[in-house]
Amino acid sequence: MCQTMLKLLVSGEGMSRTGVMISIPQYPLYSAALADLGAVQISYYLDEDNCWSLDISELRHALQEAKKHCSPRALCIINPGNPTGQVQSRQCIEDVIRFAAAEKLFLMADEVYQDNVYADGCKFHSFKKVLFEMGLEYSEKVELASFHSTSKCYMGECGFRGGYMEVVNLDPEVKVQLTKLVSVRLCPPVPGQALLDVVVNPPQPDEPSYDTFIKERTDTLATLAEKASMTQEILNQVPGIKCNPVQGAMYTFPRIHLPPKAILEAKEKAQVPDMFYCMKLLEETGICLVPGSGFGQRDGTYHFRFFSLYTNKNDEIKCSRFSLRPL
């Protein structure tokens, strides 16, 4: 769905080529889709020191730089974030909407982790809801596409390939073209469509499956929340690793402080240092992690992505093996 929307937005050559703003660290589908379409990737960095929050001044800076060589048209936001696990505040969402309105940017809100919110004081706010609460000045103007999927959280049904996109304020003629583009892909198999219907119309209190549904959903969410908090707690016990709170989604992107000797050895092997760390960890412990370099990170910083879903009570022992011993 995101690719279809991007396909519709990307055009031009040289200076007029469409630029799309994406967060760094990012979910690699975005950079791959932009490369595939020949669009210009405009990277904006999330603020690791502030729990991977989104800073409007960083957006402004990235946009001004990009205007020198392309035509910025869209801004993608992933909330809650993959791979960084942050949940955006309502204030931040409002600021993003004001920024998009001022800069005439099309907003793409990837909200596939909307049910995965765990941290105290954090709440999921959909871009559409906030947009409509900001008054006509914004709700009638800002173009927005929001995305959701059956593959996350308590649904967890990846194989069915179900999801939806909702667009607001799209020019009716453009919407006709979007419908054509979506139709070209044909529809997913019937079970996926039926499943999506259940996601958007969950069992109601007077229906037979209601109690089971609520119990299963509550249990799954409680387990995910427990794993999210254990992940942060356990990883922060490891010398050399700093992990921000897992506020939402299913991931964390802990920073690793590698000793200079390890960085040197990685360079000798022509490996990115965090790849070197992940390979060593795999060889020595069998633990397989994805290096941060695949998601993008500030120069000179190293990370890995960790799937909080897999944390369990015995991992304290396993995590002691993540230790960054001097080589």
Ligand X SMILES: Cc1ncc(COP(=O)(O)O)c(C=O)c1O
Q: How far apart are CA 81 and CA 112, in angstroms?
A: 9
Whose Cβ is closer to ligand X: residue 23's or residue 232's? 23
Structure tokens at 310: 């897999």
| DSSP H helical ranges for 152-272 | 172-184, 190-200, 210-235, 260-268
- Report the nearest approach of ligand X to the CB of residue 283 (Å): 27
177 CB-near residues (< 8 Å, 6+ apart): 8
Give the contact letters, 9-28, x = binds to ligand X (CB under 6 A), - = no. ------------------x-
Query: Is residue 46 a contact point for ligand X (CB under 6 A)?
Result: no
Distances (CA, A) of 254 to 23, 25, 97, 243, 299: 17, 12, 29, 4, 15
Q: Which residue is nearest to ligand X (CB)?
A: 149
Residue selected from 35, 158, 176, 222 as contacting ligand X according to rule CB under 6 A: 158
Structure tokens at 181: 């583009």
Residue selected from 25, 72, 85, 163 as contacting ligand X according to rule CB under 6 A: 163
Distances (CA, A) of 248 to 25, 262, 287, 307: 15, 32, 23, 12
Whose Cβ is closer to ligand X: residue 158's or residue 176's? 158
- Report the nearest approach of ligand X to the CB of residue 110 (Å): 5
Whose Cβ is closer to ligand X: residue 110's or residue 274's? 110
Query: Is residue 151 a contact point for ligand X (CB under 6 A)?
Result: yes
Q: Are residues 88 and 82 in contact, defined by beta-carbon separation less than 8 angstroms?
A: no
- Report the nearest approach of ligand X to the CB of residue 1 (Å): 8
Query: Is residue 77 a contact point for ligand X (CB under 6 A)?
Result: no
Query: Is residue 126 a contact point for ligand X (CB under 6 A)?
Result: no
Query: Is residue 116 a contact point for ligand X (CB under 6 A)?
Result: no
Q: Which amino acid is at 54?
A: L
Report the interface residues with ligand X, using CB under 6 A.
Answer: 27, 78, 82, 110, 112, 149, 151, 158, 163
